[in-house]
Chains A and B, each alone.
Chain A
Amino acid sequence: MSLWRKLRYLIPSVRRREERDIQDELESLQQFASPAELGNLTLAAEDARGVMRWLWFERLGQDLRYAARSMGHHRAFTMLVVASLALGIGANTAIFSFMDAILLRPLPVHDPDSLVIMKWRAKSYTLATSGMSWSTDGSTFDEATGTTSSIFPYSALDLFQKSDDVVASAFAYASASRLALTVRDATDSVKGQHVSGGYFEGMGVAPVAGRLIHAADDVPGAPQVAVLSQRLSRNRYGDEQAAIGQTIRINDKPFIVIGVAPAAFFGAEPGAIPDVYMPLHADAILSPSSWTARKYSDDHLYWLEIMARLKPGVTRAQAQAALAPRFRQFAESTATTDAQRQDLPALAMQPGATGLDNLRRQYAQPIYILLAMVGLILLIACSNIANLLLSRAAARRREIAIRLSIGATRGRVIRQLLTESVLLASAGGAAGVVVAWWGIRVLTELLSNGRDNFTLHAELNWTVLAVTCALSMFTGLLFGLAPALQATKVNVVPALKEVRASDAPRRWGRFGLGHALVVMQIVFSLVLLVGAGLFGRTVLNLHGIPLGFDRDNVLLFVVRPGSVGYQGPALFQLYEDLRTELGSLPGVQNVSLSAGALPMGGGTMAGVTIVGATPVAPSNDGTLRAALATVGPTFFKTMRMPIAGREFTDADRAQAPKVVVVNHRLAAQFGVDNAIGRTLTMGKDQFEIVGLVDDALIFTLKEERRAIAYFPYLQAASAPYGMVYEIRTAGNPLNLAAAVRSTVRQKDSKLAISDVKTQAAHIDQAISSQITLARLCSVFAALALVIACVGLYCTVVFNVARRTAEIGIRLTLGAQRPRIVWMVLRGVLAMTIAGLAIGIVLALATSRFVGSLLFGVAPNDPWSLAMSVGVLILCGLVAGLIPARRASRIDPMVAIRYE
């Protein structure tokens, strides 16, 4: 009872209550005596409080000193427990912090819960076909239910704005992709966002400096204004105020900075903070084209993302019910064919509180899988701590009995054991903070996978840290206290006679709790190992995909001269000049350029025919759907793609005969043996096939081999707005990055280059989630394996110690040493096999959840399963063999006399 009171004194509310109790007591004494007789009561109360505090500290100090000494004596034990805790706490905190950043953190805006994102669903998108090419950042998704999209025609914004019975304000935004931003003669490639006049007001965001974009800014012909992100304005101007009123050039057009948006505001999408915001109508200045005009008049052109703030008191369901018929009516009025009328888009509102879910879709599944993995790690870590503490407590029964017999109270002993548990847990928690901090950095690195525009940043989440720490502390206390309570209940005399823990009664049944914990560790290790096997094989398979070109020693970068005013012959000239100048850099073998880096992520398909041949599987109009690629001279040589016939050269210009290179797949689709010299038609245009190139991927890594037609960009009607340069180098391509940058800058300081990376890194980015998962899963599996082996080892050592005398007797009676080894190993194998049996079932049941992330390997891949089982049996044998061999070398005489 005394211990309990002292421990409770730690809790502030209890301490306050006790101090109030003292006050009450002293006041009540005035019924017995006059104040003069009682003396200085304030001093008495103060002294009494001092007594309680001092006693508490005194005992704590003793316990801590003893605990530290005991931990120092059992260094291996201490390190194992602290490491288990640190990994469990740290890994979980890091992953949870990321989950919070990606999945849970709401938009940093006013009252985010009343925001909704407008979306629509349709079986296909017959209505909006003409506008789909404007869809940016992959806002259209194919789901099992059909198509869900978040892009609308411009007039839909008007429709929502007028629905003022449920909507307080509706506002829109559209990504401006990469822009060339020139501030004080330095040009960089930045991320831009077009926003409607009501955007910032609707979001409820206040400027850090200046003002944000108003309705008056978003009309045709308004002065050209821009709002910068806080990060950009700090980088370029030092502070926010200095940026206001400055003239910047966006794609070489002058804009005036009117304000700075707060750093915490990341637009509507977490992980994609725009650097510069402009009114929607600024697109007429940035990229004047026939498209730009159509964007505001054509109801079939779906391009704008819309959010709305609901009126106070209006629920999302009410707003949905009110707006859905209106949108349907609008869509019906724009439909021109029966097919369109039968598949009208249906409005589907989604909560806007956490921003758009593109990033979520991309990372949610890997993050959930990671979460499951670290959850397993935490379980294994906790069970390991439990196991270690249990076996330690069993080994200490005698020590405890001695302390009890020489007069220690039961409370004092329990208190001591508790202090040790808490000290261990605290050390683990402290190490866990370090692991968490480090883990977040590593994860950021892994998830961004080299992308320079990766803006998602997770911060250490202290709430999560507190929860995981509390969980580990709880495990430590529970498994530290349970055996402690039991051990102090012992009848001292028999416990002292035990000599060793050997005669300790098995309190946890025949199949000990310690054994159960080891089995659990093996189960989870197997699941993680199978995961590592599956993802490892997936990455191997993905890396093993024949690309059709040589990925090594190629440097890529993107340049968009079209965005700073280059057009017509000047644009062609610039591309060719850059190609020549880059080619003369030391260490460069070949240089070429193309409209996109392979794999391009997506692209154009068109119907083609070969004169005098018919496609094997023609489409409706009798042509073959082929993928189109636009490339520069020496592209195939630079990419090392084997080609028959000839490569594109400088001579393949506008005036020269039009040429094309096709791949074997395209030729085969027409059943043509020798395609070279024949004529390919596309629409009204005719091209001479001059080369036949080996099949290579074009759009995605996992695609079936497509029929591809490669066209020289020099023969295009107009040069692409921006292009990717491929530079084949002699050594490490990244060594050339600085030289490439300065070459482009010297050419024109307004030019900004972006996405400088190796071709290998570009491919790895396409499979980044699989690579990340494979790496992490391997690390976690290795961790789990180590922990499980330690658990197994400890259990075996403990069992051998318990049976030393028995082994001694067996040896004396003539048992052979291999028999003793087998006797010990049998126990190990029993635990391992029990764990494997459960683990295989669990692995088979859970692995299908990762099926969609696998490639070329089935979720129940027997190879991964067999490998994992093999590794675990091997580890189990190693962990068991060491103590088993030691047991067999016991000197029987010593063992028996030990009693």
Chain B
Amino acid sequence: MQPLHGLLDMLVLRTLLFGPMHGYGVAKAIRTSSTEALDIDFGSLYPALKRLELKGWIASKWDVSEFNRRAKYYRLTPAGRKRLRDEHAEWREFASAVARVMNAKPEAES
């Protein structure tokens, strides 16, 4: 299952809340925390990372990985944190609105 359009940004920002991660790490983390329900294709995640970086919500830095090799690590910026709060709030509102509609009982069935 692919995440809904427009939600990928939020998922990435949320994932980076736990700490800096390299690009593939972000994809794997989303997959793991959704218990494999969300299958993030790295090819579509990567441009999203770049877009978020350009917008200034995340920042990147070359660092040394656990394999003692160079890797690029992404972290959340303060602007990104604010953005995540906004998007999350928006999403909650949207999801609950959708849920209310979906859970509504038919009023009178004659």
Tell me the minimal C-beta distance from B39 to chain A in angstroms: 11
Contact partners of B24 in chain A: CB under 8 A? 29, 32-33, 37-38
- In Å, the complex CA distance between A47 and B8 comes to 15
Enumerate B14-35 residues with CB–CB distance to A below 8 Å. Answer: 22-25, 28
Number of A-B contacts (CB under 8 A): 70
B43 and A39 within 8 A (CB):
yes
Interface of A is mostly: helix
Contact partners of A31 in chain B: CB under 8 A? 65, 67, 69, 71
A25 and B43 within 8 A (CB):
no
Any chain B CB within 8 A of the CB of A746? no
Known interface pairs A25-B23, A29-B71, A55-B54; A38-B42 also in contact (CB < 8 Å): yes
B22 and A2 within 8 A (CB):
no
Residue of B nearest to A45 (CB): B46
B55 and A2 within 8 A (CB):
yes
Any chain B CB within 8 A of the CB of A655? no
Contact for B46 among A24, A26, A32, CB less than 8 A: A26
Tell me the minimal C-beta distance from A113 to chain B in angstroms: 50
Residue of A nearest to B46 (CB): A44
Q: C-beta contact mask, B63-87 vs A, less than 8 Å → 1, else 0?
A: 0010101111000000000000000
Enumerate A1-31 residues with CB–CB distance to B below 8 Å. Answer: 1-2, 5-6, 22, 24-26, 28-29, 31
Contact partners of B51 in chain A: CB under 8 A? 51, 55
- In Å, the complex CA distance between A1 and B79 comes to 12
Residue of B nearest to A33 (CB): B24
Interface of B is mostly: helix
A29 and B47 within 8 A (CB):
no
Tell me the minimal C-beta distance from B70 to chain A in angstroms: 6
Contact for B72 among A28, A45, A51, A55, CB less than 8 A: A28
Contact partners of B22 in chain A: CB under 8 A? 29, 32
Known interface pairs A25-B72, A39-B42; A51-B56 also in contact (CB < 8 Å): no
- In Å, the complex CA distance between A43 and B47 comes to 10
Any chain B CB within 8 A of the CB of A289? no
Any chain B CB within 8 A of the CB of A48? yes
Residue of A nearest to B67 (CB): A31
- What is the size, in residues, of chain A's interface with B at 8 Å between Cβ atoms? 27
Known interface pairs A28-B70, A31-B67, A32-B24; A44-B47 also in contact (CB < 8 Å): yes
Residue of B nearest to A6 (CB): B54
B72 and A40 within 8 A (CB):
no
- In Å, the complex CA distance between A55 and B50 comes to 11
Any chain A CB within 8 A of the CB of B93? no
Known interface pairs A1-B56, A52-B50, A55-B51; A44-B71 also in contact (CB < 8 Å): no
Q: C-beta contact mask, B36-51 vs A, less than 8 Å → 1, else 0?
A: 0000011110110111
Contact partners of B28 in chain A: CB under 8 A? 32-33
Contact for A51 among B41, B50, B67, CB less than 8 A: B50
Contact partners of A32 in chain B: CB under 8 A? 22, 24-25, 28, 65, 67, 71
Tell me the minimal C-beta distance from B10 to chain A in angstroms: 17
Contact partners of B55 in chain A: CB under 8 A? 2, 55
- In Å, the complex CA distance between A39 and B42 comes to 7
Any chain B CB within 8 A of the CB of A61? no
Contact partners of A40 in chain B: CB under 8 A? 43
Most buried by B among A2, A6, A24: A2
Contact for B54 among A5, A26, A45, CB less than 8 A: A5
Any chain B CB within 8 A of the CB of A50? yes
Enumerate A634-683 residues with CB–CB distance to B below 8 Å. Answer: none
A28 and B47 within 8 A (CB):
no
- In Å, the complex CA distance between A33 and B29 comes to 13
- In Å, the complex CA distance between A47 and B50 comes to 9
- In Å, the complex CA distance between A156 and B48 comes to 82
A47 and B46 within 8 A (CB):
yes
Contact partners of A43 in chain B: CB under 8 A? 43
A47 and B41 within 8 A (CB):
no
- In Å, the complex CA distance between A33 and B23 comes to 11
Residue of A nearest to B69 (CB): A31
Known interface pairs A25-B23, A32-B22, A32-B24; A2-B46 also in contact (CB < 8 Å): no
B23 and A2 within 8 A (CB):
no
Residue of B nearest to A59 (CB): B54
Contact partners of B42 in chain A: CB under 8 A? 37-39, 44
Known interface pairs A38-B24, A52-B50; A44-B43 also in contact (CB < 8 Å): yes
Tell me the minimal C-beta distance from A21 to chain B in angstroms: 8
- In Å, the complex CA distance between A268 and B76 comes to 71
A48 and B46 within 8 A (CB):
yes
Contact partners of A26 in chain B: CB under 8 A? 23, 46
Contact for A47 among B25, B43, B54, B67, CB less than 8 A: B43
Enumerate A29-74 residues with CB–CB distance to B below 8 Å. Answer: 29, 31-33, 37-41, 43-45, 47-48, 50-52, 55
Residue of B nearest to A32 (CB): B24
Known interface pairs A2-B54, A31-B69; A48-B25 also in contact (CB < 8 Å): no
Tell me the minimal C-beta distance from A42 to chain B in angstroms: 9
Contact partners of B47 in chain A: CB under 8 A? 44, 47-48, 50-51
- In Å, the complex CA distance between A33 and B27 comes to 11
A29 and B54 within 8 A (CB):
no
B54 and A51 within 8 A (CB):
yes
Contact partners of B50 in chain A: CB under 8 A? 22, 48, 51-52
Contact partners of A5 in chain B: CB under 8 A? 54
Most buried by B among A24, A25, A47: A25
- In Å, the complex CA distance between A26 and B45 comes to 12
Contact partners of B72 in chain A: CB under 8 A? 24-25, 28
Tell me the minimal C-beta distance from B99 to chain A in angstroms: 31
Known interface pairs A1-B56, A48-B50; A29-B23 also in contact (CB < 8 Å): yes
- In Å, the complex CA distance between A28 and B49 comes to 16
Tell me the minimal C-beta distance from A18 to chain B in angstroms: 10
- In Å, the complex CA distance between A440 and B6 comes to 58
Most buried by A among B44, B47, B65, B72: B47
B71 and A28 within 8 A (CB):
yes
Contact for A28 among B43, B44, B46, B69, CB less than 8 A: B69
- In Å, the complex CA distance between A48 and B53 comes to 11
Contact partners of A39 in chain B: CB under 8 A? 41-43
Tell me the minimal C-beta distance from B37 to chain A in angstroms: 18
- In Å, the complex CA distance between A51 and B28 comes to 22
Contact partners of B65 in chain A: CB under 8 A? 28, 31-32
Residue of A nearest to B71 (CB): A28
- In Å, the complex CA distance between A51 and B69 comes to 27
Residue of B nearest to A26 (CB): B46
- In Å, the complex CA distance between A572 and B42 comes to 102
- In Å, the complex CA distance between A55 and B55 comes to 9
Tell me the minimal C-beta distance from B59 to chain A in angstroms: 8
Contact partners of A47 in chain B: CB under 8 A? 43-44, 46-47
Contact partners of B44 in chain A: CB under 8 A? 44, 47
- In Å, the complex CA distance between A729 and B41 comes to 94
B54 and A52 within 8 A (CB):
yes
Residue of A nearest to B60 (CB): A25
Tell me the minimal C-beta distance from A51 to chain B in angstroms: 5
- In Å, the complex CA distance between A2 and B57 comes to 10
Enumerate A115-134 residues with CB–CB distance to B below 8 Å. Answer: none
- In Å, the complex CA distance between A631 and B50 comes to 90
- In Å, the complex CA distance between A71 and B39 comes to 50
Residue of A nearest to B48 (CB): A51
Tell me the minimal C-beta distance from A32 to chain B in angstroms: 5
Contact surface of B with A, Cβ cutoff 8 Å: 22-25, 28, 41-44, 46-47, 49-51, 54-56, 65, 67, 69-72
Known: A32-B28, A33-B28. 6 other contacts (CB 8 A): A24-B72, A29-B71, A31-B71, A37-B42, A44-B44, A51-B50
Closest 5 CB pairs of A and B: A2-B56, A47-B47, A44-B46, A48-B50, A44-B43
Contact surface of A with B, Cβ cutoff 8 Å: 1-2, 5-6, 22, 24-26, 28-29, 31-33, 37-41, 43-45, 47-48, 50-52, 55
- List 17 A-B pairs, Cβ < 8 Å: A1-B56, A2-B54, A2-B55, A5-B54, A24-B72, A26-B23, A28-B65, A28-B70, A29-B22, A32-B71, A39-B41, A43-B43, A44-B46, A47-B47, A48-B47, A55-B51, A55-B54
